[in-house]
Amino acid sequence: MKLIITDLKEFQIPVTGIHKIIRPQRAIHPCIGCFGCWVKTPGSCVIADGYEQTGIDMGQCTELIYVSRCCYGSLSPFVKNVQDRAISYIHPDFVLRKGEMHHKRRYDNVISLSAYLYGEDITDAEKETARKILAANADNYDGVVKEIRFFKTEQELEGLML
Amino acid sequence: MKIALINGSPKVGNSSSRWLLSELKTFLVQKEQTTEIIEIEMHTPVVAEQDMEALCGAQVWVFACPLYVDGIPSHLLSCLIQLEQEKRRWQNRGSRSYGIVNCGFYEGIQAETALELFNNWCAKAEACWGGGLGVGGGGGLSQMPDTKNGQGPKAPIRSALLEMADQIVACGEMENMYQSVAFPRSFYKMAAQMGWRKMIKANGKKVKDLGARPESRICGWEK
């Protein structure tokens, strides 16, 4: 099962298999750092705006795919917002992984992460940061990196098959 | 010199970012009494016009924020994009930007990627990056007792802020620094986990609920 998080309102990329696409269909509220998704409504975000269940969706998927504009090496604000609101995918307790502190698993699924990032002027430094961030995300989710690719335009993405 | 201390935490009230900027402000004023400090609250995805005007008049910008999923919070990312889009208003002020990123994990080095984002933003916005500080164990900073005579769990963080203040008043460039609280990692982990248990009980739930796996109420999976 593939969970796709994108900032594209019109998603034209063909996808095979069972999937879900989270895209900007309505306004999204930023994470407020309350940790309610861990200690009030464990597993889902307390902000009921239609984006509160992403952590649960992540618990059901095998692939997490970001299709996003690249902003300084980060995902774009919408995709990052969805990601910020989904920390309930992991458990608040800590474990040591690769010698560093990370969060414990809440679910048993191992996610493979991919990022397809677009932008006309993505610099080499931004590409390097994006690679590091995806690897760090995989460590935090206790998952693996599948691939990261960069595209100059949104149109170039249409050649993809997810 | 006018220095803008920018609180990029989503929390309006007490936060580790607020504590870090408050400490930095103390050091900046001690080092250079003619320094004018302005405090900007950046808690939403839009930079208010009055804040934009205030920023345009500052020679140094210091951003502070929590680490959010190995990057910066989405609302602050939106603000950086807005600042880049309006760079013609402020880029001739001949200044530097610095970053302070605190993470709930013990190791300050985990903030490296977020500091890189600030550095990359500077390159795009044609601003000068002055360097940053990654703080580990940030989750407990605002609750930990104050440092006295250079002692206590926050002492290494204060030392790093002091060093950063030296660079800021000189408008200098520094290598990124990474620091953690002076508190054993195992104790930090234990204290944090006790905190989660206390909080979930205060919300009328059981400790085992911390690991709940709720069912999705919203479908949307398709073939």
The alpha carbon of residue A4 is apart from the nearest alpha carbon of chain B, in Å, by: 11
> What's the pLDDT score for residue B94?
65
Structure tokens at B48: 């208010």
Strands of the A19-22 sheet, one edge to the other: A19-22, A2-6, A63-69, A112-118, A144-151
**Which chain B residues have a beta carbon less than 8 Å from that of A75?**
71
Residues 55-114 of A with CB under 8 A from B: 56-57, 59-60, 71-78, 80-81, 83-84, 87, 91-94, 100-102, 106-107
Of the residues A39, A41, A103, the best mutation for testing chain B's interface (the one with the most B CB atoms within 10 Å of its CB) is A39
The mean per-residue pLDDT over the stretch A15-25 comes to: 95
Number of domains in chain A: 1
ipTM: 0.96
**Which chain A residues have a beta carbon less than 8 Å from that of B113?**
73, 129, 132-133, 136
pLDDT tens digit string along A38-83? 999 999 999 999 999 999 999 999 999 999 999 999 999 999 999 9
B2-205 maps to which CATH number? 3.40.50.360
On the question of pLDDT at B217 being above 70, the answer is no
Domain of residue A57, residue span: 2-159
> What's the pLDDT score for residue B175?
97
**Which chain B residues have a beta carbon less than 8 Å from that of A41?**
214
Domains in chain B: boundaries: 2-205
The CATH number linked to A12 is: 3.40.50
The alpha carbon of residue A26 is apart from the nearest alpha carbon of chain B, in Å, by: 15
